Structure 1
């Protein structure tokens, strides 16, 4: 029998290709001895999640009911891991601060066009250990982030003529946090499949999935 159980929850705005991208990581988890099930409805959070070791969510924007959110939060507090990338985790359920307290961050803005930016790993956490700085050509997220996050990578936000008031702050790109007994892993990279196929992105994301697992 597989050693671990993972639930993939995917949907919302389809511009982030939730099916193909989550299929990529469902395959990775299956190869690492996880039994993986997928759901295209947030009603998955109403089920008994006590036997789920990891939830991977790719659900951009959308709405979540009180009961669905309560089910998700209770599962993570009890020890189920929670992980995801880009808008599928930090641009979901914009009107739900309780969800934002789970993820530790919320998307606010990105440049009108793709930009090339450098990601700088920080510290010695196993997710980023021995990973060198790398470049991404895609959306660069400006985020509001919880100061309690353990930041694993940062970037210098590039000037945006449409939002000059933002300036050029150092922006978190990747972090981990605890929510009760559960571990949470977030990376802001992953607008498109090509982003996820970058070796450093794939390496850190897969490490993050394994780390977040109960």
Structure 2
């Protein structure tokens, strides 16, 4: 491995309904084409290896639900704080590990989604129009799940989706859907889009996800 080769670690597992292996496998060739040496892990024991995490330039996590230990959260967050990038999409990053303050790292957590798949629009933030993750992209529609999330105020929201009024809420709710943040020297990229493989057939979804992985990497 050359000294200029970046290392990516894909951590995947948990609830299989989000097809963690199938979907992450579609991004492995992209990372390799961009010069990453890519390893995969299907066991959270990888988060016990502090040296390995710190030596990694990008961790791509696709692990829905599941249980993580306090020490594993501490090692993961310490690695990101030292400069390791952390990125993911949908339940694989914001519906993971509701334990030990994990979501302080991601800057947001999943709460619910309306039943079934719905057509809905994602709008990019004019404030961050020049951000490399979304620059040049136009608002788009997806037929899939739409996440209601709770978020940290210390994130940069790149895209939102709007929930219409319903029997409980008398006005629309604009919900963060794609965001970035920093954690010490590290960068974090989160997209709530990506329940199923064909979500990534939408060109804007594929583009912002690929760009997000690259942006987060050391």
Short-chain TM bin: over 0.9
Which residue of 92, 95, 99 corresponds with 1:95? 99
TM-score, structure 1 as length reference: 0.95
Which residue of 41, 44, 55 corresponds with 1:42? 44
Measured after TM superposition, the shift of residue 166 of structure 1 is 8.1
Which residue of 152, 158, 162 corresponds with 2:164? 158
Unmatched tracts of structure 2, length 5 or more: none
Look up the match of 1:72.
Answer: 76
Residues 63-106 of structure 1: CA distance to partner in whole angstroms, max 9, x if unpaired? 0011211111111011000000000000001233x211100000
Unmatched tracts of structure 1, length 5 or more: none
8 Å CA contact 1:116–1:135 kept in 2: the answer is yes
TM-score, structure 2 as length reference: 0.93
Which residue of 144, 148, 162 corresponds with 1:138? 144
CA distance in 2: counterparts of 1:166 and 1:173, whole angstroms: 21
CA distance in 2: counterparts of 1:175 and 1:191, whole angstroms: 17
**Quick check: 1:109 aligned with 2:115?**
no
Structure-to-structure mapping, 1:1-214, within 5 angstroms: 1=2, 3-47=5-49, 48=51, 49-96=53-100, 98-122=101-125, 123=128, 124-160=130-166, 164-165=168-169, 167-214=171-218
Which shifted more, 47-56 or 74-83? Answer: 47-56
Residues 165-193 of structure 1: CA distance to partner in whole angstroms, max 9, x if unpaired? 48521001100001111000000000000
Which shifted more, 128-137 or 45-54? Answer: 45-54
8 Å CA contact 1:138–1:195 kept in 2: the answer is yes
8 Å CA contact 2:165–2:173 kept in 1: the answer is no
* Matched length: 211
CA distance in 1: counterparts of 2:83 and 2:166, whole angstroms: 40
SS of match in other structure, 1:50:
helix
Measured after TM superposition, the shift of residue 159 of structure 1 is 4.2
CA distance in 2: counterparts of 1:10 and 1:149, whole angstroms: 24
Runs of 4+ in 1 over 2 A off after TM superposition: 158-161, 164-168
CA distance in 2: counterparts of 1:147 and 1:119, whole angstroms: 20
CA RMSD of aligned residues (A): 1.3
Measured after TM superposition, the shift of residue 31 of structure 1 is 1.1
CA distance in 1: counterparts of 2:108 and 2:182, whole angstroms: 13
Measured after TM superposition, the shift of residue 46 of structure 1 is 1.2
